[in-house]
Structure 1
Amino acid sequence: MNRTGEVHRCACGQTFVDGVGNGHRLLAQHETFVRSCFQAVLVEVALRKGSSIVFP
């Protein structure tokens, strides 16, 4: 369950804040537009593998 005010951050730096529990959906929609963003792809892969993410 997402809480109001929870922040979801894309690898490109854009953030989405939950208003009525929709921040994660806005983030997912945004991420479909930044698939070409190399960092976003790395984050997605790392999250699927359950790795911790460290940005240089």
Structure 2
Amino acid sequence: MIRVLEWTTYDGWRWIDCYQLGPNGTATARRSLFVRVSGVRRQTPPPVSQRRPRVGALV
């Protein structure tokens, strides 16, 4: 999550900005989500596995 937006909305609901993460943990897209605050849970991301170079990348 990047931030909570201060837009007027229903009681108990918020707009948030966040990043969608790819398999290697890097941001692939930015999203705005409309969420119910009582339903939001913090989740610890899984450890990033050992990264392999991309095909064709210089090592």
**TM-score by structure 2 length?**
0.25
Q: Which has the larger radius of gyration?
A: 2
The structure carrying a bigger strand percent of its residues is 2
The structure carrying a bigger helix percent of its residues is 1
